[in-house]
Amino acid sequence: MAFELPDLPYAHDALASKGMSQETMEYHHDIHHNAYVVNGNKLIAGTEWEGKSLEDIITGTYDASAVAQNGIFNNASQHWNHTQFWEMMGAGNNDMPSELEAALKESFGTVDAFRDQFSAAGAGQFGSGWCWLVKDADGGLKVTKTENGVNPLCFGQTALLGCDVWEHSYYIDFRNKRPAYLANFLDNLVNWENVASRLG
32 marked ligand binding residue:
no
The per-residue DSSP string of the chain comes to ----PPPPSS-TTTTGGGT--HHHHIIIIIIIIHHHHHHHHHHHTTSTTTTS-HHHHHHHH--TT-SS--HHHHHHHHHHHHHHHHHTB-SS--PPPHHHHHHHHHHHSSHHHHHHHHHHHHHHS-SSEEEEEEE-TTS-EEEEEEETT--GGGGT-EEEEEEE-SGGGTHHHHTT-HHHHHHHIIIIIB-HHHHHHT--
d(C-alpha 181, C-alpha 116), whole Å: 14
79 marked among binding-site residues: no
Does the annotation place 168 within a ligand binding site? yes
Binding site members: 28, 82, 164, 168
Binding site members for Mn(2+): 28, 82, 164, 168
